[in-house]
Structure 1
Amino acid sequence: MSMIDDSARVEIRRGLRVAALFFIGLLGGASMMPLDAGVYARGAVIVSGKRQAVQNRDGGIVTALRAVEGQKVARGQVLLEIASADLHALERGMTAELMMLFAQRERLLAERDRRSVMAEPVEFRALPAADRVLAEDALRGQRLLLAARLRTAQTEKAVWMRRAHANAEQIGGFGEQIVANRRQRALLDDELTGMRVIAAKGFASINRIRALERTQAALDGEHGALGAQILQTRDAIGEAELSAAGVDRRQIEEVEGSLRDLLVRMNELQPKLLAAREQLARSMVRAPVAGTIVGPTIYTIGGVVSPGQTLMEIVPDRRALVIEVQVSPDDADDMRPGQTTQVRFTGFHDRAMPALDARIDTVSADSFTEERTGNRFFRAEASLLPESYRTLVALKGPGALTPGMPAEILVPLRKRSALDYLIGPLKESLWRGGREA
């Protein structure tokens, strides 16, 4: 019996030694096995600077589609058109009015300066063909109006001057009558003197003398009337000459008033026309950059576009490809721009494909929310180092990396061993327990 107990104790001691050696070896191996701490995140390859969204601020009804999925487009190329018939009519109407105002301004300036020929507005020197037609129509009409107004003014002045000339001739007639009256008065005076001498001798009647005196008084009255008529006619001449001069004065006053009103209207119209042209230009939706069309949301003519709606996106040409990943908020504090990271492109499905070195370029200052899951994350971007990119090109070719390809990154943070991972939770529990006590 004692021999059995001794044998059992030997086996137990031997088992304890083996267990102790195993445990010591395990701890030693764990303390020496490197398991560095790091940040792991998933993401995808994107174009640096993001895709360029194509939008329209005003919205409307699609009248033409000029780009499809995957099509290469140049910067400024028309992608689609949005209905703008009313806006186009409004823009044409305002343009025609503005062309008329420019021409009218030159016509008024010509009238003010008493010129028979109006200059062409400086705004007409570099007009597009459609506007040039409107400008020429406006010029033609205003030139005809200028000629008509000048003829009217000249005719009115001529009427007043003819009236003044007629009055001057009438004054000449009155002067001749006065001269004739004076001669007649002189003769009458001589006759009356002789009659008075004869009457004093009794050879002439007193009635004859009184008749001659009445004729003399009538001549004196007619002479005074002729003088008054001359004065009135001279006043009429002055009024006619003043009226002739007033034609120019009134026309200048009218022109100055019209110019003021015209400039006010021009200042009101030009900003409205500029806004209408900008809105009309926006109805022709153009590519903001050269690239490839992706994700169009409008497929039919007649579709309704909401203001600000994303109509499609463009992947820009000749932009660098970067890796965008979503980082957990718990790990975001451990990531900083400039850190070195390792990238694996899981889309290659090639076990021989090594992890490639990259550099963290940006880390978002605030977190974002995933709309589908509601999870919060920080956004980071990393780019391959030049030597890693050359390795990728050598293994997979220059066009292997494409937008949308899935990728994983690992950012090494600090040296740790397997033992640190084993005893880390215990140390944290002891630390917390000590604080709570």
Structure 2
Amino acid sequence: KVIPSSQIQIIQSLDGGILQEIYVQEGGLVIKGQPLARIDDTRFRSDFDQQEQEVFGLQTNIIRMRTELDSIIISDMSSDWRQQVKITKQNLVFPQTIIDEEPELVKRQQEEYSIRLDNLSNQLEILVRQIQQRQQEIEELASRISTLTTSYQLVSRELELTRPLARKGIVPEVELLKLERTVNDIQGELQSVRLLRPKVKASMDEAILKRREAVFVYATDLRAQLNEMQTKLSRMNQAQKGAFDKVSKAVIASPVIGTIKKINFNTLGGVVQPGEEIMEIVPSEDKLLIETKITPKDIAFLHPGLPAIVKVTAYDFTRYGGLKGTVEHISADTSQDEEGNSFYIVKVRTQESSLMKDDGTQMPIIPGMLTSVDVITGKKSILEYILNPILRAKDTALRER
């Protein structure tokens, strides 16, 4: 008879669920990949859709953050504080698939992108005004120092010329005292202005540093958030693969070509437990494996590799012919049937898996069908068939047993 050459395939649902559809019947032929049954995927699809939303959110956040970082320029080479930090908005571009799937999400990210960079620009603009104000103050102090220095030089010269005249009584002493007081006042004011100038310069440098630090801290925090988002996205992608696998496995497909041997569930809406057996499939192959019984008296000249002809009892041999095969295995010892008859088990592998009608239609052969096998051990001519009985009689003539 025809036997399965590989083990019976047990069809299971890895995750279980509610049985929604059964597409096959017992005894039916199936091909590899053919849908057998369907598990309700509502729960799995809900999880997958939720994870897909999270993935889109993470992807758009990552794209926005990267574009923000590309819009921020920090230069260590320039001595001009204006060139050390720049904010140049880059175009925020999203994949078309995300734009089509989540237009509102894309819109929110675009708004957040503009708001965040605008806020940073406004923060930097305040510091720019402070720097420019300090620059103006420094320029005013420089001008004031120049004016006071000139005034001091002129009044000091006037004082030098007035002293001799005051000693001679030409100029009143009161006038001399006024000039001395004026010189002291100018000198004191000049000293105060000169002391104020470094303080204003230090205040300007501090504003420049704050401007640079504000951008540096912003970029550092943004990179940290970006790294965190990328880590989350990596984990979510793995989780989404698992969720997609559950959705895809809701439709249970045949792993092999074969015949449905048994279906364990017949009630739609029933609950299938994870790993529970749903049905069994007996595999079919391009080459069949035939198991036949050979009596001990016929075993002597048999060995693996001999050609054979397999006749399927379900199909008329004279009409459909048989299958060519090869002896593949001979059991090492005899077995006995229920009646006590001894036999060797011989397995024959066929070259084809089906018979063919005249019109080309295949006649399927499935495990369990009964067969008869003719093993070809050699060839004889017609003359040999005629002479063999005579030769055997000659060999045994005039002998006692």
Aligned residue for 1:284?
251
Aligned alpha-carbon RMSD (Å): 5.0
Aligned residue for 1:60?
16
Map Cα deviations across residues 144-198 of structure 1 (whole Å, 9 max, x no partner): 2221221122112211111112122323443454455456546754775576456
Q: Give SS of 2:190's match.
A: helix
Shift of 1:385: 9.2
Aligned residue for 1:407?
371
Q: Distance in 2 between matches of 1:113 and 1:278?
A: 37
Aligned residue for 1:116?
90
Is 1:298–2:265 an aligned residue pair?
A: yes
Task: Name whichever of 111-120 and 248-257 sits farther off.
Answer: 248-257
Contact preservation (8 Å) 2:308, 2:373:
no
- Structure 2 residue runs of 5 or longer lacking an equivalent are 72-88, 333-337, 379-384, 393-401
Q: Which amino acid aligns with 1:117?
A: N
Contact preservation (8 Å) 1:82, 1:284:
yes
Q: Distance in 2 between matches of 1:166 and 1:384?
A: 96
Shift of 1:222: 1.6
Is 1:104–2:61 an aligned residue pair?
A: yes
Map Cα deviations across residues 372-417 of structure 1 (whole Å, 9 max, x no partner): x9xx99673454999x967xx69xx978765343334464769999
Is 1:241–2:208 an aligned residue pair?
A: yes
Shift of 1:80: 2.4
Shift of 1:61: 2.0
Aligned residue for 2:167?
200
Q: Distance in 1 between matches of 2:101 and 2:177?
A: 88
Aligned residue for 1:226?
193
Distance 1:328 1:282, change over 3 A: farther
Q: Which amino acid aligns with 1:324?
A: I
Q: Distance in 2 between matches of 1:105 and 1:57?
A: 37
Q: Give SS of 2:191's match.
A: helix
Distance 1:246 1:332, change over 3 A: farther
Query: Among residues 255, 273, 277, which one is paired with 1:309 in the alignment?
Result: 277
* Identity percentage of aligned residues: 15
Query: Among residues 127, 131, 140, which one is paired with 1:164 in the alignment?
Result: 131
Contact preservation (8 Å) 1:294, 1:315:
no
Task: Name whichever of 192-201 and 298-307 sits farther off.
Answer: 192-201
Matches within 5 A, 1:369-380: 380=347
Matches within 5 A, 1:9-24: none
- Structure 1 residue runs of 5 or longer lacking an equivalent are 1-42, 368-372, 421-437
Distance 1:120 1:398, change over 3 A: closer
Map Cα deviations across residues 64-97 of structure 1 (whole Å, 9 max, x no partner): 1141416777764543233555543443343333
Aligned residue for 2:106?
139
Distance 1:49 1:152, change over 3 A: farther
Aligned residue for 1:25?
none
Shift of 1:215: 4.5
Is 1:88–2:45 an aligned residue pair?
A: yes
Shift of 1:208: 7.2
Contact preservation (8 Å) 1:357, 1:384:
no
Q: Distance in 2 between matches of 1:84 and 1:401?
A: 35
Distance 1:267 1:180, change over 3 A: same
Q: Which amino acid aligns with 1:302?
A: G
Query: Among residues 238, 241, 244, which one is paired with 1:274 in the alignment?
Result: 241
Contact preservation (8 Å) 2:48, 2:244:
yes
Aligned residue for 1:14?
none
Q: Which amino acid aligns with 1:147?
A: S
Shift of 1:364: 5.5
Q: Which amino acid aligns with 2:59?
A: F
Shift of 1:60: 0.9
Q: Which amino acid aligns with 2:18?
A: V
Is 1:340–2:304 an aligned residue pair?
A: no
State the number of aligned residues.
Answer: 351
Shift of 1:253: 3.8
Aligned residue for 1:19?
none
Is 1:216–2:167 an aligned residue pair?
A: no
Distance 1:344 1:189, change over 3 A: closer
Aligned residue for 2:83?
none
Shift of 1:299: 1.4
Task: Name whichever of 71-80 and 278-287 sits farther off.
Answer: 71-80
Q: Give SS of 2:371's match.
A: strand
Q: Give SS of 2:119's match.
A: helix
Contact preservation (8 Å) 1:336, 1:360:
no
Distance 1:338 1:96, change over 3 A: farther
Q: Distance in 1 between matches of 2:151 and 2:56?
A: 73
Aligned residue for 2:382?
none
Q: Give SS of 2:270's match.
A: coil
Aligned residue for 1:430?
none
Contact preservation (8 Å) 2:329, 2:346:
yes
Instruction: Using CA pairs under 8 Å that are at least 6 residues apart, name the structure with larger relative contact order, 1 or 2.
Output: 1
Map Cα deviations across residues 311-352 of structure 1 (whole Å, 9 max, x no partner): 253887xx768463265898999452443256462x68x9x9
Distance 1:364 1:230, change over 3 A: farther
Q: Which amino acid aligns with 1:311?
A: M
Contact preservation (8 Å) 1:360, 1:380:
no
Q: TM-score, normalised by structure 2?
A: 0.65
Contact preservation (8 Å) 1:296, 1:313:
no
